[in-house]
Amino acid sequence: MSLEETALPTDEVFVQDGVTFLLNKRDKHFFEGLALDFRKSWFGGSFTLVDAKGNEVGGGC
């Protein structure tokens, strides 16, 4: 994951709760059924990908 200011022609754009997400169309199938969640920890917190049961599946930043 990284922060980008503009979408590329190969990106699909999603907006949820006022936040814009860009996802490369080629990689879209890897993210189907996942959600982006913010998890707090002793070290602060980070975003991570979770499945429908709330299990972390990686991709944190």
Domains in the chain: boundaries: 11-58
Based on its alpha-carbon atoms, the radius of gyration of the chain, rounded to whole angstroms, reads: 13
Q: Which amino acid is at 29?
A: H
pLDDT band for position 59 (cuts 50, 70, 90)? low
pLDDT of residue 1: 66
Q: Which of 31, 57, 55, 59 is nearest to 47 (CA)?
A: 59
Contact between 23 and 11 under an 8 Å Cβ cutoff? The reply is: yes
Condensed to tens digits (0 to 9), the pLDDT of residues 1-50 reads: 677 888 999 999 988 888 888 989 999 888 888 888 888 888 888 888 88
DSSP string, 14-57: EEETTEEEEEEGGGHHHHTT-EEEEEEETTEEEEEEE-TTS-EE
